[in-house]
Chain A
Amino acid sequence: MKNAKPTCLCLLLATALVSGPALAQEGEPITIGVPVGLSGANSVIAPAVVQATELAVEQINASGGILGRPVKVVVADDASGAAGAQTAYNTLVFQNDVDVLIAIETSAARNAGLPIVEEGEKPFIYSSFYEGRSCSPNMFVNGWVPEQQVPPVVEKLMADGARNFFLIGSDYAFGRGMLEFSRKYIEDKGGKIVGEEYLPMEGSDWTAILSNLRSAGADAVITSTAGGTPNVTLTKQLRASGISIPYANLAVDEGTAKAMGADGVGILISASYLTAIDTPENKDFIAALEKKFGGEMRTPNDLSTPQYEAVYLYKAAVEKAGSTETEAVLAAFPEVSFKGPRGEISMSKQHHAPLTMYLGEVQADGSVKVVAEFPNVDPGDQCPDL
Chain B
Amino acid sequence: MALLLDITTTAALLFIVSAGLFVIFGVLKIINFAHAAWLTIGAYTTVVATRMGFSPWLSLPLAVFVGGLLGAATEIAIVRPLYRRSLDAILATWGLGVVIVQIITLTFGRDMQMPPALITGTVDVLGMPYSSYRLFLLVAAVIMGLAFVLVLERTRLGLNAQAVIMNETLARALGINTSQVRLVTFMLGSAIAALAGVLLTPLSSVDPTMGISWLIGAFMLVMVSGTSVAALALACLCFGAAQVLVSTWISPILGSVTVAVLCAVVLRLHPKGFARG
A32 CB, min distance to chain B CBs, angstroms: 26
- Nearest opposing residue in chain B for A206, CB measure: B252
Q: Distance (Å) between the CB of B122 and the closest chain A CB?
A: 3
Contact segment of B90-98, B110-118, B181-189: B110-118
Given pairs A232-B112, A242-B129, 12 additional interface contacts (CB within 8 A): A199-B252, A199-B253, A200-B256, A204-B204, A205-B13, A208-B255, A209-B247, A228-B205, A229-B207, A230-B205, A236-B205, A259-B114
Flag if A261 contacts B114 (CB, 8 Å). Answer: yes
Between-chain CB contacts (< 8 Å), 27 pairs: A44-B110, A197-B251, A199-B253, A199-B256, A203-B252, A203-B256, A207-B6, A207-B134, A208-B244, A208-B247, A211-B6, A211-B248, A212-B248, A215-B2, A230-B205, A232-B204, A233-B204, A236-B117, A236-B202, A236-B203, A240-B117, A240-B121, A240-B131, A240-B203, A242-B121, A242-B131, A262-B120
Q: A-facing mask of B216-255, CB < 8 A → 1, else 0?
A: 0000000000000000000000000001100110011101
Say whether, besides A211-B6, A240-B134, A200 and B253 are in contact (CB < 8 Å): yes
**Is there contact, CB below 8 Å, between B213 and A203?**
yes
* Cβ 8 A contact of B247, one of A207, A239, A260, A261: A207
- Chain A contact residues: over half helix, strand or loop, or mixed? helix
- A90 in the interface, Cβ–Cβ < 8 Å? no
Q: Which of B13, B110, B134, B205 contacts A232 (CB 8 A)?
A: B205
What's the Cα separation between A44 and B110 when bound, in Å? 7
Q: How far is the CB of B212 from chain A (nearest CB, A)?
A: 8
Docked-complex contact B253 and A171, CB < 8 angstroms: yes
Contact partners of B129 in chain A: CB under 8 A: 241-242
Q: Do residues A261 and B122 form an inter-chain contact, with CB atoms below 8 A?
A: no
Docked complex Cα distance between A43 and B208 (Å): 14
Min Cβ gap A219→B in Å is 17
Closest chain-B Cβ to A362's Cβ sits at a distance in Å of 13
Total contacting residues, chain B, CB less than 8 A = 38
**A7 located at the interface, meaning its Cβ lies under 8 Å from any Cβ of chain B in the complex:** no
Instruction: Tell me if A382 counts as interface (CB < 8 A to partner B).
Output: no
Quick one: which of A173-221 are within 8 Å of B by CB?
197-200, 202-209, 211-212, 214-215
Q: A171-B253, A240-B203 are in contact. Are A208 and B213 (CB under 8 A)?
A: no
Cα distance A228–B252 when bound, in Å? 20
Q: Please, which residues of chain A bring their CB within 8 A of the CB of B243?
A: 205, 208
B112 engages A207 (CB within 8 Å): no
* Chain A residues in 8 Å Cβ range of B134: 207, 240
B130 at interface (Cβ–Cβ under 8 A)? yes
B210:A229 contact, CB within 8 angstroms: yes
A199 to chain B: which residues have CB within 8 Å?
A: 252-253, 256
Bound CA span A206–B116, Å: 20
Return B2 CB to nearest CB of chain A, in Å.
Answer: 5
Given contacts A207-B10, A259-B114, contact A241 B131 (CB under 8 A): yes
Which B residues are CB-close (under 8 A) to A236? 117, 202-205
CA distance A197 to B255 in the complex (A): 12
Among residues of B, the one whose C-beta sits closest to the C-beta of A258 is B114
Chain B residue at smallest Cβ distance from A260: B114
Type the 1/0 row for B249-277, where 1 means its CB is closer than 8 Å to any CB of A.
Answer: 00111011000000000000000000000
A256 at the interface (CB under 8 A from B): yes
Q: When the two chains form the complex, which single residue of A209, A229, A230, A240 contacts B202, counting CB atoms closer than 8 Å? A: A240
Q: How far is the CA of A262 from the CA of B133 in the complex (A)?
A: 16
For the complex, is A367 an interface residue (Cβ under 8 Å from B)?
no
Chain A residues near B132 (CB, 8 Å)?
A: 240
Greatest chain A CB density within 10 A among B243, B244, B255 is at B255
Cβ-closest 6 pairs across A and B: A208-B247, A242-B122, A232-B205, A242-B129, A229-B205, A240-B131
Q: B256: nearest residue on chain A (CB-CB)?
A: A203
Chain B residue nearest to A237 in the complex (CB): B203
Q: How far is the CB of B125 from chain A (nearest CB, A)?
A: 11
Chain B residues with Cβ under 8 A from A239's Cβ? Answer: 120
Give the complex CA separation of A262 and B114 in angstroms: 10
In the bound assembly, the distance between CA atoms of A205 and B111 in angstroms comes to 20
Does B159 belong to the interface (CB within 8 Å)?
A: no
Q: Which residues of B contact A228 (CB under 8 A)?
A: 112, 205, 207
In the assembled complex, B3 has its CB within 8 A of some CB on chain A: yes
Contact partner of B122 among A233, A241, A256, CB < 8 A? Answer: A241
Q: Is B9 an interface residue (CB 8 A)?
A: yes
Residues of A within 8 A of B256 (CB): 199-200, 203, 205
User: CA of A236 to CA of B133 in the docked complex: distance in angstroms?
Assistant: 11
CB distance from A233 to the nearest CB of B (A): 5
Chain B residues with Cβ below 8 Å from A242 are 121-122, 129-131
A241: chain B residues within 8 A (beta carbon) = 122, 129-131
User: How far is the CB of B75 from the nearest CB of chain A, in Å?
Assistant: 29
Taking the nearest CB of chain B, how far is it from the CB of A256, in angstroms? 7
Task: Give A228 to B244 CA distance when docked, in angstroms.
Answer: 24
Most-contacted residue by chain B among A212, A230, A242, A256 (CB, 10 A): A242
Instruction: Give the docked Cα–Cα distance between A76 and B264 (Å).
Output: 44
Whole-angstrom distance from the CB of B123 to the nearest CB of chain A?
9
**Cα–Cα distance between A256 and B205 once the two chains are bound (Å):** 11
| Interchain CA distance A229-B207 in the complex, whole Å | 8
Name the residue of chain B whose CB is nearest to the CB of A234. Answer: B205
A179 shortest CB reach to chain B, Å: 14
| Chain B residues, Cβ within 8 Å of A205 | 10, 13, 203, 243, 256
Q: Which of B3, B122, B213 contacts A211 (CB 8 A)?
A: B3
CB-CB under 8 A for A44 and B111, given A207-B10, A208-B6: yes
Residues of B within 8 A of A215 (CB): 2
